Structure 1
Amino acid sequence: MIETFSSRQQQFLQAEQVAQRQYNQMAFWRLMWFVGAILVVWGLHRADQVIATLVVALVGVVGFLWMLKHHTRIRRERDLNHHLAYINEDEAARLDRKFLRPETGDGFANPTHPYAGDLDLFGKLSLFRLLNRTHTHEGTRRLADWLLAPASPKTIFFRQQAVADLLPQLDWRQTFEAHAYLNEAVSRPTSALRQWAAAEPIPVPLYLNLARFGLPLLTFTLLMAWLLGFVSGWAVVGSLAVTGALLGRTNERAKQVADQTSDITAALDTFRDLLADAEQVDGRAERLRVIRETLRGGKESGQAQPASVLVGRLSNLAQNFNFRSNPYFYLFVGLPVLWDVHYLIRLERWRTQHGPHLERWFAALAELEALNSLVGFAHAHPTYVQPDLVETEHLTLDAKQAAHPLLAPGKGVANSLALAGNGQTILITGSNMSGKSTFLRTLGANVVLALAGAVVSAERFVVSPVRLFTSMRTQDSLEESTSSFYAELKRLQTLIQLSGEAKNWPVLYFLDEILKGTNSADRHRGAEALIRQLHQTTASGFVSTHDLELGQLADAQGQPLDFVRNFHFQSDVCDGQLLFDYRLRDGICQSFNASQLMRSIGINV
């Protein structure tokens, strides 16, 4: 895939350079046109050619405006190609697990979440950063939510359908993302705008509706009469005073609307482009069809025009309304023509007709962005597989040649393992640094991806709906006066509570070096008691440990427990060097390396 991304990066860089040359040329000709028009108008004026002067001035203005519009179009094309080149550069870097985008998703991290911290959902090297191709605030939030909460099999199936339909549409997907890059303001929260749109309409009083035409006309008439000497200047001042008094009645409301719309106004044009892209997305998948219908509207939905057109109209209204923040404009234009009243009425009319739909439009766009993230991840990793989701009463996890998705393809060692049934525990023993913790995170991370609707790093991956729980990186807290051991106990208490809840989905747990903060005797008794207790619930999972006796648990008759299975990782010593193959093997580990590691740092053991 790196060849594809590198080739496309060069293609768009070349297109950017062509557009930059056109941009520079147009800037030169705009300057020449402006200077030439000024000189010709000045010369005709000196020659007392009034009609010719007016004609040339008009042609000069029209020509300059046309060139300005064309110049803006070239700049947009240049910027779009620049962002497309960057997107492909970023995609190539991700293949080596390097990231150009700064967003880490740390804002979504929650230390009490059942698995987010242990499975690296957020951070510098995280699943969020690996998947993320979102740009809007709502889209980013939606992707984070998908990682934080497993979806139902039906929902996952719909996402997988959409991913399959979008997978071949590389040009559309990257153009959709590049449009979001055109304005960084799309990453700002839209909550204030959505709150304004969803609020109850507040009609403008009838007298203001009438005055917004009559009073500016009266002011203009008095101004002309004063210039011609028919009335006193105080008449104009009086008319402006009345206008100011009327504006004072709406000032508080105008300020409130400005506060709710000003921050996101700059991004509305970009939202319009994103919505236009979304309205044209191709595919028969159910979620894509729903997104299209939501945005395109129709008589049945009470939405006469596509969302992109209506948001574009809102953008124009909001931009024009917020001209009021310029004091010179407000003094010379806003005050005499009752600018606030005109645009409050127009914004109110837009809100009444289309405000209730805005929340659905943003939600549809957020879902499409999150889906685009899953598709981008799948496209970049063609060897990853779409997991099979099975709905069964018993917990099922079957991973064939699964590797950690945060390791670059081909750099991790893949392993296979299956877990079936409720109340089951798989014990993983092994020497230090042999791969126990990484293997637990490998399975956990791939389960997170599978239950979000993404592809997974495996040859085959089957999983049933589960509630994930991990206890792997418990730390002490000076602020809460909590030791690392007690912090782990609190995590295990949460596991016991979750496994005891009457939920449809069983708990799948991953416990690393269980009860490592206490003495060996208490650790063994506590771990054994927990495993036996969890067996009485629907929870199943994995426990890594150095406690070999745990692997020899037996019932009252001395028979091995049928709900505990043993696997291990091992290390070998060759010429005094420790060697690891990171391969999972059956049974309890028989070789350990702590003594060799201590000797390697100078401890005489």
Structure 2
Amino acid sequence: MTSATVLLGYQQRIDQIEALLAHLQMRQGTTVAVLVLAVVTTAAFCFLAFSRRAMPIWYPPLPLSAALISLRKYTRQQLQISRFIRLRRFYAGGVERLEERWVGNGISGQEFEVPDHVYAADLSLFGHGSLFERLCTARTHLGCERLASYLQEPARFAEIRQRQAAVRELTGRTDLREKVALLGRYDFEQSRWQTFAEWLDSPPAGFASWLGPAALASSVVVGALSAAIMLKPSIWPALLPIILPIAVSNAVAGLSLRKRVRRVLKASAPVASEITIIREGLELLAGERFVTPKLVTLTTRAAPAGAVIRLLKPWFMILRERTKDWFYLPSLWLLLGTQSALAIESWRLRYRGSLRQWLDAWAEFEALNSLACYAHENPEDSWAELDDKSAHFSAEGLGHPLMARDTCVRNDVSLGDAYGFCVLSGSNMSGKSTLLRSIGLAAVLAFAGAPVRARSLRLAVMRIGASISVVDSLRDGKSKFLGEVQRLREMLQLSADGPVLFLVDEIFSGTNSPDRRAAADAVARTLAARGAIGVISTRDIALAAIAAHGGTNLHMRSRDGADNPLDFDYRLKPGVTTESNALAIARMVGVPI
């Protein structure tokens, strides 16, 4: 299978959906016509029966029943049309990704980036045109957040292997991704971890355990007696001595609990609007049969969730309806708001630990499913071979995963075997930074459990550190040089605790040449001594000497024989560069040199 095959499959599925949509819309048009005809006929029959007395009065309800049936059918058809439109949008997003039109159309994930992270900004993990935007197809905010943690947080070897196995099993499950995309009634419905966390962490309301059954029993009695009076009004004098004390006690209980009830209902309102999509997702997950251990564990954890969460459904329904005019007085009379608060609070205290586990299971599944979608749409990419030995990284045909496949230049990169690190020299725009990001993103994808843009990749489980996009900060009172020094200090600290892959672009460019050479030499020597591997790029060929600490020199330059110094081939070559193009670039943009 190739990405072109996947694209063709998506386009064919869109054609099928559009055909089904056209057929459904045509049927809906017929339903509307029947509905209009039934309403007009009902109006005509009413006029003839009541004004002209030209027909029996039982005629008007006949077409009215047809109108009600048509209205219900129209509502169902509208829901089906909405689902097909959402499904078409899901596949249209896949087509955009496969045709390299995805930039700016997805979720940037900027809100999930950890401030001052040791590589997130340097490798463009979040933001416009980022790795996260390319990867994320999660239905809920929970899934987005977990995917972001996959990309930023280190994982152990066993965990990575389990992720990779799970993603492989999910790769071909386009049918499952369709079902996930259709969760909830509308696309804008969301489920956020913060909503649930605030609710679960709120202090107990302090309701006595007997209040719930007592309130329910009294409301049932009041409701039954009220119904009896409505059916036979003549008996109200006999029932009044019974119903009045109960109603008074309900009122007293409602007033005494009012503050706590309001607090519970206010805290529960956001959850009521977000928990449905989670329940549907967990029920979907629990109904699947998987083979890989991680997915089996997730389905086992999700198994009881649907039935338990459904216990909240009637109380959340009352919570939504109790403020409406038609329901307000019955709600007060039957103490429904208080009962809802008691039931919801009881459920929360009993199941809050379980709910955290269920939310965690769903978030984990969505992250894996997003990576599986990426794997499905990039079948030419390879699965990394990982181990937990000393630091090493060996890739054949390594490319940048965010570049178009047909324009991406690939290189073979080997670190940790013949040499631990390389000093990569080259002039401006020769491709050094892109190569560093390609190495870093390959490691990030591999550790997340996803395939990588390479013919093959072997690497150890390592921590990643990068200094590629460090800038100055007026807000923090920090120069670019200070920011880079602090980032390199973080890398050195990481290397003291285990294997590290370091990626440093234009090391210490913010200081004078003698200091730069001395500082770069010290950093390279320390990292190499601790077994770290990586790449240090520079335009300053004087720094080539730091490769003496167990490294080697590689360079990138313009094509052989090219007259234009900006005509680069973006290929790795041995040795130190002998060209510079700074003056040529300055002249190109109009600087008089």
What TM-score do you get using the length of structure 2 for normalisation? Answer: 0.88
- Corresponding residue for residue 382 of structure 1: 379
Q: Take 1:44 and 1:337, find their aligned partners in 2: how far apart are those partners?
A: 41
Given the alignment, which residue of 408, 413, 417 partners 1:412?
A: 408
Contact 2:525 2:549 in 1 (8 A): no
**For 1:165-197, what per-residue CA distance to the aligned partner results, in whole angstroms no more than 9, with x for missing partners?**
222221222232232573422244463478349
- Corresponding residue for residue 585 of structure 2: 597
- Corresponding residue for residue 316 of structure 2: 318
Contact 1:162 1:287 in 2 (8 A): yes
Q: Tell me: CA distance 1:64–1:295, structure 2 relative to 1, closer, same or farther (3 Å).
A: farther
Q: Take 1:257 and 1:21, find their aligned partners in 2: how far apart are those partners?
A: 47
Aligned residue for 1:571, secondary structure, equals: coil
Aligned residue for 1:578, secondary structure, equals: coil
The one-letter code of the counterpart of 2:15 is: Q
Contact 2:218 2:246 in 1 (8 A): no
Q: Please state if 1:130 is matched with 2:145.
A: no
Tell which deviates more after alignment, 456-465 or 66-75. Answer: 66-75
Structure 1: tracts of 5 or more residues without a match: 298-306, 554-559
Q: Take 2:21 and 2:563, find their aligned partners in 1: how far apart are those partners?
A: 57
**For 1:31-74, what per-residue CA distance to the aligned partner results, in whole angstroms no more than 9, with x for missing partners?**
544565576678778999xx985x985x8887666555543332
The one-letter code of the counterpart of 2:31 is: M
Matches for 1:133-282 after TM superposition, within 5 Å? 133-179=137-183, 182-189=186-193, 191-192=195-196, 195-196=199-200, 202=207, 203-205=209-211, 207-217=214-224, 243-282=250-289
Q: Take 1:464 and 1:232, find their aligned partners in 2: how far apart are those partners?
A: 80
Q: Please state if 1:82 is matched with 2:85.
A: yes
Tell which deviates more after alignment, 472-481 or 119-128. Answer: 472-481
**For 1:285-344, what per-residue CA distance to the aligned partner results, in whole angstroms no more than 9, with x for missing partners?**
1122112222224xxxxxxxxx3344344233312233222255212x112222224434
Q: Tell me: CA distance 1:254–1:61, structure 2 relative to 1, closer, same or farther (3 Å).
A: farther
Structure 2: tracts of 5 or more residues without a match: none
Q: Take 1:272 and 1:31, find their aligned partners in 2: how far apart are those partners?
A: 38
**For 1:483-518, what per-residue CA distance to the aligned partner results, in whole angstroms no more than 9, with x for missing partners?**
222222222222222223xx3x31211000001011
Tell which deviates more after alignment, 239-248 or 216-225. Answer: 216-225
Deviation at 1:397, TM superposition (A): 0.3
Q: Take 2:183 and 2:363, find their aligned partners in 1: how far apart are those partners?
A: 14
Q: Tell me: CA distance 1:568–1:422, structure 2 relative to 1, closer, same or farther (3 Å).
A: closer
Q: Please state if 1:527 is matched with 2:520.
A: yes
Matches for 1:385-396 after TM superposition, within 5 Å? 385-392=382-389, 394-396=390-392
Q: Take 1:577 and 1:531, find their aligned partners in 2: how far apart are those partners?
A: 30
| Identity, % of aligned positions | 27
- Corresponding residue for residue 508 of structure 2: 515
Q: Tell me: CA distance 1:335–1:176, structure 2 relative to 1, closer, same or farther (3 Å).
A: same
Q: Tell me: CA distance 1:408–1:342, structure 2 relative to 1, closer, same or farther (3 Å).
A: same
Contact 1:398 1:418 in 2 (8 A): yes
Deviation at 1:425, TM superposition (A): 2.5
Aligned residue for 1:133, secondary structure, equals: coil
The one-letter code of the counterpart of 1:586 is: P
Q: Take 1:159 and 1:235, find their aligned partners in 2: how far apart are those partners?
A: 64
Matches for 1:290-439 after TM superposition, within 5 Å? 290-297=297-304, 307-331=305-329, 333-347=330-344, 350-351=347-348, 354-392=351-389, 394-420=390-416, 424-439=420-435
Q: Take 2:566 and 2:214, find their aligned partners in 1: how far apart are those partners?
A: 88
Deviation at 1:461, TM superposition (A): 0.8
Deviation at 1:467, TM superposition (A): 0.7
Q: Tell me: CA distance 1:207–1:267, structure 2 relative to 1, closer, same or farther (3 Å).
A: closer
Deviation at 1:116, TM superposition (A): 0.3
Contact 1:198 1:356 in 2 (8 A): no
**For 1:538-583, what per-residue CA distance to the aligned partner results, in whole angstroms no more than 9, with x for missing partners?**
3221100122222234xxxxxx825021110012574456311000
Given the alignment, which residue of 9, 34, 41 partners 1:29?
A: 34
The one-letter code of the counterpart of 2:318 is: N
Q: Tell me: CA distance 1:279–1:239, structure 2 relative to 1, closer, same or farther (3 Å).
A: closer
The one-letter code of the counterpart of 2:451 is: V
Aligned residue for 2:424, secondary structure, equals: strand
Say how many residue pairs are matched: 583
Aligned residue for 1:77, secondary structure, equals: helix
What TM-score do you get using the length of structure 1 for normalisation? Answer: 0.86
The one-letter code of the counterpart of 1:561 is: A
- Corresponding residue for residue 569 of structure 1: 556
Q: Tell me: CA distance 1:337–1:158, structure 2 relative to 1, closer, same or farther (3 Å).
A: same
Q: Take 2:502 and 2:524, find their aligned partners in 1: how far apart are those partners?
A: 11
The one-letter code of the counterpart of 1:274 is: G
Q: Take 2:138 and 2:74, find their aligned partners in 1: how far apart are those partners?
A: 29
Contact 2:396 2:412 in 1 (8 A): yes
RMSD of aligned Cα (Å): 3.5
